[in-house]
Structures are given as structure tokens and as C-alpha cells.
């Protein structure tokens, strides 16, 4: 076995594979050279192809952004006779017996040793002062014969962005580089290590002033620095400059730009590049996939998030914590707690341990999706692991508890929040707590929390005042409802549909003799609603369909999410005031406008009435309308199905403390209707065709 050793540092410069023009030219050049060693005769060595081995040199440039494709000629000052000087620095290869005592000594003169010394010079430069004098002092160790390749190696191994401009100037003053762009590219790489984009832009301007043409590596280095610095708009700016310098981005740069365009908010361009990436099979990294998922999430396209995730796995890219956390955050925004739960289980099965971001994303997803058990479990686990909660996470939990009526859990969470050294209560915190007290009709605690909110420097919001109106209404304190309404106006807050719906709901709980007080509030808050309410409260004549017309105009003017609460409350008010005809008109409007859907279902064996989405008054009105429809079926000579059923749902009803089932059952008993609670189906009341027909016929006889 033998080593091929180069005769001098300058000959090494040509023998590096990374800068050879072609294998054939390298071989030809090597074979034509003659080499002489002092005290050794060249004839003593007979190299054999089977016993020769080229000593591997270190990779000169480790960064993929920098590549040398062309040979760089020597730049060595001539000494004495030009021909002898030239021949003394020409490279050659010889066979050396590895067993020779001189082999180790000769190996020390290889480029490995030279490279190591240049790396040491780079390290010394990193620790010196950023001044021409200090830089010159360090670089004097290279001697007067500085090669372009040595300059590239030194700068490429540096990391001090303050010193590197002086190093570049030093080398430029001593050598005439044939590929000066490479020297600039490795300098840009040092600035990228220091995340100094401003300095990169100045160096780029200097390149142009010196007539040096930037190449793809120049732009990709600057673009990657802008990406590292979280300046996507800068990355886009430099990417779009490439074509003006005749540079065509490669697929790596294009892949990076998917991330940059996504972060910069240019969704269309990012998606176009992503489509091209899928077509041309570009290699995309996890950062790019994370940006795509986040981009779809912010746009509200949550199915797009999941599609990107699935495509990523198909391409063999392994999801990391950032991907999983980004997906969990998106599913939280989408209020899809079941998908967040599935993604979290997949993450755990892949051996990844949840971090703070994971827990926070899960808590938001479960809290927003009202998965109370899961949300409270995550909260407990975070506390057990000593993870800090922030105000937003506490508020998410409190809002969930307020919506679900979890008063005990909410109060415990609030106490934890107050004992935290890092979290301060804000307007949202107080709003949730006031809502919890208000829903239970706890006036004193609701008022106490309102006072604490004001003392903490927060003005009552419309959400707080809406909760207080609900609280005073439950307690039968009509004057305080009016007082709260006036307070809302004094604060310059305009009543919204939710506030008006709350006022309307309070009217359904208010004695008839006090309704005029609230009628004033409703009329001022929403004149269209006030006009409809006056028909009910003041007993106005309906006229020729005027009531139905004004009620229809009201539903045209309000948001979709409040139409059902409005319709429920108006029907409840009609039932309370014994205005059954108007209640039926409102129910018919609700059905025709699909405010109420799927109330009735029919099959060959059973007809059913579904009441669980209706308020008490609306349920009783729908029940009467359904019974009348059954009577009309019999009058027309048609047959009823074998089974008739009424579905009230089971458990506590959101519109009644008693529960809808008990109210409907009581009313059916009053009517002497043959419906009985099904023992195997909670919330269902069933009867047979025979029993129903007999009962309906007897009702007709009584009416007649």
C-alpha cells in the first residue's frame, strides 16, 4: 500500500478533486509531471497501480451553498529564474512506501496538515479584534505566498462577522482571484452565521462595484439568512432579484421560498410553488410543511392542514414536534377537539414527548371544543409537571367552565390563577366569572366580581353587562335590568343581537305587570324587535298580516346564530301571555325559514316529533301544532303509522331547570294523551296507532 504525497502546498492546490476541471485532465497533468526529492532518487520508486492509494484530502468547503467547479490557477510570487520557480511549485504525485521511515514525515507535508493549519488561522481570526492591524498580524503566519484556495479555506471556517470584512480586504490586496465570487460567497456565509443581513447587503453592493457577478450561491446564502432572521419579505425581495442577474433558482431555493412566501402572507405564490413541488417531486423540509399547515390554518382551511400532513407522511418526511404542535393549534382554531386528540395520540405513539407548546395547544383545542374532562386533565398534568400557565390559558378554561356551568372547577382555577406570580386577571377573566355567577342567579357574588373588575381598572364590557342582565332577570330584579341597560348606553356601548336576545329572554321570566319597563329597553335597543314585542305586550291588533310581516322583517335583520334564541323567546312570551295564535305564526315562520329543522321525521313504521332543541313555550306550541296535524290526517281518511313518538331528550334542559321531559309529560297528562315514557329509551314518549286514533277522535267529539 502506498500514499501519493504532493511536493508542495502549491501543488496541492491543483490536485484537490473539488476544483479539478475533469478527471481526464487531472490524470494527464499528473502523468506529465516529474518530481524530485532531496536525498531520494525518483528511480528508487516504481509505482504500481495495484499498490497505490491517493491520500484523501479534507473537504475544503463544507457548506452546500459553496461549490468550486473550475480550477483556480496558482498565484505565487516568482523568485529567481521564472522557469525554475515555476517548476519548483508544480504539483506531482509519487509513490511512497508506507513502511518507509520517511512516510510519516512526508505525510505531514500533505494538504491535510495544510488544511488543519488554515483552520487554526481561522480560529485565531475569530478571537482577534476587528481591525486591519490585528487581522494582518494573524495572517502573517501564512507567509507571502498566499493562495486563493487558502483564502477561501480560511474565510469559510470563520464565524466572526465583525472580523471577516478585514480578512476579505487583506486577501483582496494580496491575490488576484480568478473566481472572486467564491471568495465573496464564503464571506456571506460568515455573515449568515452571525445573522447579519445588513452586512450581507453591503457586501453584495461591493461585489457589484468591483464588477463581480453574483451567482446562485450568492442569492441562496442571502435568502437563507433572511429566512433564519425571520424576515420573509426580505427573502422574497432577494429571490425576485435573481432573474435580473441571470440566475435560475434550483429546487432547494424554490422549496425554501414556499416557506418564505407563506410567512410573508403571499398565500397564492406559496401554493403555486407547493403545487409545482408536488409535480416535480422537490424535497421539502419540515419547516416548509409547518409553514404550509400554519398558512392553511390561518386561512381557515383546516382540511387543507390535514391534507398537507398526510402528503408529508406519504413523501416519507417524518413529522417533528413543530409539525405536531402546529397541527394541534390549527385543530384548536377549527374547534375540532376529536382530531386534536387523535393527532396527539399519534405523536405519543411515535415516541415524542409533549412540551409546553403541545399542552397549551391541546388545552386550547379541548377548551374551545368544550371537551371539559380532557381540558381539565391536561390542566392537571401541566401543574403536576410544574409547567407555567399564562393568562390566556386560564381564561380559556374559565370560559369553558362558564359555558358548561362548571362553577366549582371555575372557582378552583380562579384561585390557582390568583396565586400565580406570572398571571394577572384581565377583562376576559372577570367576564367569565360574572357569567358563572349570573347563570346561577347569584346576584351578590356577580356584583362583587363586577366591583373587583372595576377596581382592577377594567371597564365593564358588553359581555359582562349581558351576563348581569341575565342575572337580574333570574332574580326578578327588573329595575336593576333597566339600570344595567342605562349603564350600557352611558358607556357608549351599542346593544348587539346577543344583548337584545338576553333582554327578550328576561321578558319571558318577568311578571306581566312589569313588562312595560323592559319594553322601553327593547324598543331602544332594537326598534324592529320593539315593534314585534309591542304586539304581544300591548295587545295590538294584528291587522291584515301586519304581525307576521314585521316578525319576518325582524328575522331578516338579525344574525343567523341568534335567530333561534329570538324565535324561542318570542314564542315563550306568547305562551306566557296566552297568545297561542301568534305563537303558532312565529313557529310557522321558524319552520319556513329553516330556523327550526328536523322537528318532524316520518317513516313507514313511526312518526316522531323532536323537541329537544326548542324552548318550553316553543315545545308546547310545536306539540299542539303536531297534534292538530295528526287530527287532519285522520279527517282526510289517511292511516297513521303503527307507532307515534315524542322525543324531548333527557337530562337538564338549557331552557328549564325542571327539564323538558317533565314539562312535556305533565302537559300530556293534562291533555289525557295516551303517550307514555319508553322504559328503554330515555326522553321518549310513545303510543300506538290504535290508542292515538281513539284519543284524537274523542277530542274531536268534545270539540264538536
Q: What is the pLDDT of residue 269?
A: 87
* Count of beta carbons in the 10 Å neighbourhood of residue 587: 24
Average pLDDT over residues 201-211: 93
The arithmetic mean of pLDDT across residues 39-47, rounded, is 36
Q: How far apart (Å, rounded) are the C-alpha atoms in residues 464 and 571? A: 26
Cα angle value 345/349/355 (rounded, 5°): 70
Three-state DSSP state, 214: coil
Neighbours of 317 (CB within 10 A): 16
Q: What percent of the chain has pLDDT over 70?
A: 82
- Between helix 180-193 and helix 148-156 the angle, nearest 10°, is 10
- Name which residue leads in pLDDT, 24 or 364: 364
Say which range, 233-247, 268-282, 308-322, 463-477, has the weakest mean pLDDT. 268-282
Residues 6+ apart with CB under 8 A from 412: none
DSSP state of 606: E
**Is pLDDT larger for residue 655 or for residue 98?**
98
Evaluate if residue 7 carries a pLDDT over 90: no
Closest CA to 89 of 23, 175, 6: 6
599-701 sits in which CATH class? alpha beta
Q: In whole angstroms, give the CA distance from residue 71 to residue 470.
A: 84
The DSSP bridge partners found for residue 54 are 4
Grid cell locating 246: 441571470
Alpha helices, DSSP H, located in 578-688: 580-592, 616-635, 660-670
Residue 368 near residue 332 (C-beta atoms within 8 A): yes
Measured in residues, the chain has a length of 704
Does residue 450 contact residue 464 with C-beta atoms inside 8 Å?
yes
Residue reference for cell 494582518: 136
Q: What is the pLDDT of residue 75?
A: 39
- CA dist., res. 79 & res. 56, Å (int): 31
Is pLDDT above 60 for 452?
yes
| pLDDT above 80 (res 101) | no
User: Which tens digit of pLDDT belongs to each residue from 125-149?
Assistant: 999 999 999 999 999 888 878 888 8
Q: 275: helix, coil or strand? A: helix
Give pLDDT, residue 488. 93
**Is the per-residue pLDDT at 50 higher than 80?**
no
Give the DSSP H or E segment for 645: strand 643-647
Which residues, at least 6 apart from 427, have a Cβ–Cβ distance to it below 8 Å?
453, 458, 459, 461, 464
Evaluate if residue 118 carries a pLDDT over 70.
yes
- Higher model confidence: residue 160 or residue 271? 160
Contact between residue 396 and residue 363 where contact means Cβ atoms under 8 Å apart? yes
Residues 6 or more apart from 396 whose CB is under 8 A from it? 363, 364, 367, 368, 375
Average pLDDT, integer, range 594-619: 92
Q: For the residues 687-703, what does the mean pLDDT come to?
A: 86
Q: What pLDDT does residue 132 have?
A: 93
Q: What is the pLDDT of residue 505?
A: 93
Q: Say how many C-beta atoms besides its own lie within 10 A of residue 674's C-beta.
A: 18
pLDDT given at position 92:
45
pLDDT of residue 298: 82
pLDDT value of residue 69: 36
Query: In the 8-state DSSP scheme, what is residue 358?
Result: H
Whether 341 has a pLDDT exceeding 90, the answer reads: yes
Q: What is the mean pLDDT of residues 594-603?
A: 92
The listed range with the strongest mean pLDDT (66-75, 174-183, 349-358) is: 349-358
| Domain assignments of the chain as residue spans, ordered by start | 104-213, 599-701
pLDDT of residue 65: 38
First CA to last CA across the chain, in angstroms?
Answer: 121
Task: State the average pLDDT for the chain.
Answer: 82
What percent of the chain clears pLDDT 90, i.e. is strictly above it? Answer: 60
Does residue 46 have a pLDDT over 70? no
Grid cell for residue 90: 508544480
Give the tens place of pLDDT for each residue, 402-416.
988 888 999 999 999
- For residue 204, what pLDDT band results from cuts at 50, 70 and 90? very high
Q: What is the pLDDT of residue 538?
A: 86
CA-wise closest residue to 108 among 169, 55, 181, 37: 55
Per-residue exposure over 139-163, b if at least 16 CB sit within 10 Å of its own CB, e if not? beebeebbbbbbbbbbbbbbebbeb
Amino acid at each position: 500500500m502506498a500514499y501519493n504525497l504532493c511536493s508542495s502546498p502549491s501543488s496541492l492546490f491543483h490536485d484537490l478533486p473539488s476544483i479539478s476541471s475533469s478527471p481526464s485532465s487531472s490524470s494527464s497533468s499528473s502523468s506529465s509531471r516529474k518530481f524530485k526529492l532531496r536525498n531520494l532518487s525518483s528511480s528508487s520508486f516504481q509505482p504500481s497501480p495495484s499498490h497505490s492509494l491517493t491520500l484523501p484530502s479534507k473537504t475544503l468547503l463544507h457548506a452546500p451553498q459553496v461549490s468550486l467547479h473550475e480550477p483556480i490557477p496558482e498565484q505565487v510570487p516568482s523568485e529567481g529564474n521564472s522557469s525554475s520557480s515555476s517548476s519548483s511549485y508544480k504539483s506531482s504525485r509519487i509513490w511512497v512506501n508506507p513502511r518507509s521511515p520517511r512516510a510519516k514525515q512526508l505525510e505531514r507535508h500533505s494538504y491535510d496538515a495544510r488544511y488543519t493549519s488554515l483552520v487554526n488561522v481561522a480560529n485565531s481570526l475569530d478571537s482577534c479584534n476587528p481591525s486591519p492591524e490585528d487581522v494582518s498580524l494573524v495572517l502573517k503566519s501564512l507567509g507571502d505566498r498566499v493562495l486563493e484556495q487558502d483564502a477561501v479555506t480560511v474565510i469559510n471556517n470563520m464565524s466572526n462577522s465583525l472580523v471577516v470584512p478585514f480578512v476579505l480586504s487583506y486577501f483582496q490586496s494580496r491575490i488576484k482571484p480568478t473566481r472572486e465570487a467564491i471568495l465573496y460567497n464564503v464571506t456571506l456565509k460568515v455573515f449568515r452565521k452571525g445573522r447579519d443581513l445588513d452586512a450581507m447587503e453591503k457586501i453584495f453592493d461591493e461585489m457589484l462595484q468591483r464588477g463581480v457577478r453574483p451567482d446562485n450561491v450568492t442569492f441562496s446564502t442571502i435568502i437563507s439568512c433572511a429566512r433564519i432572521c425571520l424576515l420573509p419579505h426580505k427573502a422574497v425581495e432577494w429571490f425576485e432579484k435573481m432573474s435580473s442577474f441571470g440566475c435560475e433558482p434550483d429546487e432547494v431555493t424554490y422549496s425554501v421560498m414556499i416557506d418564505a412566501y407563506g410567512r410573508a402572507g403571499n398565500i397564492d405564490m406559496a401554493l403555486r410553488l407547493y403545487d409545482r413541488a408536488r409535480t416535480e417531486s422537490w424535497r421539502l423540509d419540515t419547516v416548509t410543511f409547518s409553514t404550509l399547515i400554519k398558512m392553511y390554518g390561518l386561512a381557515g382551511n383546516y382540511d387543507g392542514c390535514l391534507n398537507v400532513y398526510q402528503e408529508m407522511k406519504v413523501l416519507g418526511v417524518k413529522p417533528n414536534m413543530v409539525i405536531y404542535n402546529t397541527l394541534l393549534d390549527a385543530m384548536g382554531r377549527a374547534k375540532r377537539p376529536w382530531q386534536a386528540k387523535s393527532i396527539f395520540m399519534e405523536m405519543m405513539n411515535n415516541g415524542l414527548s409533549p412540551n409546553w407548546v403541545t399542552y397549551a395547544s391541546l388545552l386550547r383545542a379541548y377548551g374551545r371544543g368544550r371537551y371539559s374532562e380532557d381540558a381539565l386533565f391536561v390542566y392537571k398534568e401541566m401543574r403536576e409537571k410544574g409547567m407555567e400557565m399564562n393568562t390566556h390559558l386560564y381564561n380559556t378554561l374559565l370560559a369553558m367552565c362558564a359555558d358548561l356551568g362548571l362553577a366549582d372547577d371555575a372557582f378552583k382555577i380562579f384561585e390557582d390563577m390568583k396565586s400565580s406570580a406570572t398571571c394577572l386577571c384581565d377583562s376576559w377573566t372577570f367576564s367569565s366569572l360574572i357569567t358563572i355567577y349570573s347563570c346561577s342567579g347569584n346576584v351578590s357574588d356577580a356584583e362583587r366580581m363586577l366591583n373587583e373588575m372595576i377596581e382592577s381598572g377594567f371597564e365593564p364590557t358588553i359581555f359582562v353587562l349581558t351576563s348581569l342582565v341575565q342575572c337580574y332577570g333570574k332574580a326578578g330584579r327588573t329595575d336593576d335590568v333597566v339600570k344595567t341597560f342605562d349603564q350600557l348606553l352611558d358607556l357608549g356601548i351599542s346593544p348587539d343581537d346577543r344583548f337584545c336576545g338576553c333582554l327578550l329572554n328576561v321578558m319571558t321570566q318577568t311578571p306581566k305587570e312589569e313588562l312595560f319597563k323592559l319594553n322601553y329597553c327593547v324598543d331602544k335597543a332594537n326598534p324592529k324587535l320593539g315593534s314585534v314585542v309591542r304586539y304581544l305586550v300591548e295587545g295590538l291588533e294584528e291587522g291584515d298580516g301586519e304581525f307576521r310581516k314585521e316578525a319576518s322583517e325582524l328575522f331578516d335583520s338579525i344574525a343567523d346564530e341568534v335567530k333561534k334564541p329570538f324565535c324561542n323567546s318570542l314564542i315563550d312570551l306568547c305562551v306566557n301571555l296566552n297568545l297561542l295564535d301568534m305563537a303558532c305564526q312565529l313557529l310557522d315562520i321558524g319552520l319556513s325559514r329553516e330556523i327550526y329543522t328536523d322537528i318532524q321525521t316520518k317513516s313507514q313504521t313511526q312518526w316522531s316529533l323532536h323537541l329537544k332543541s326548542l324552548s318550553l313555550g316553543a315545545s308546547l306550541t310545536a306539540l299542539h301544532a303536531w297534534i292538530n296535524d295528526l287530527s287532519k290526517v285522520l279527517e282526510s281518511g289517511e292511516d297513521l303509522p303503527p307507532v307515534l313518538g315524542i322525543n324531548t331528550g333527557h337530562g337538564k334542559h338549557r331552557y328549564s331547570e325542571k327539564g323538558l321531559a317533565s314539562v312535556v309529560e305533565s302537559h300530556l297528562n293534562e291533555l289525557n294523551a295516551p303517550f307514555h315514557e319508553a322504559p328503554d329509551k330515555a326522553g321518549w314518549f310513545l303510543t300506538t296507532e290504535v290508542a292515538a286514533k281513539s284519543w284524537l277522535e274523542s277530542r274531536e267529539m268534545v270539540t264538536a
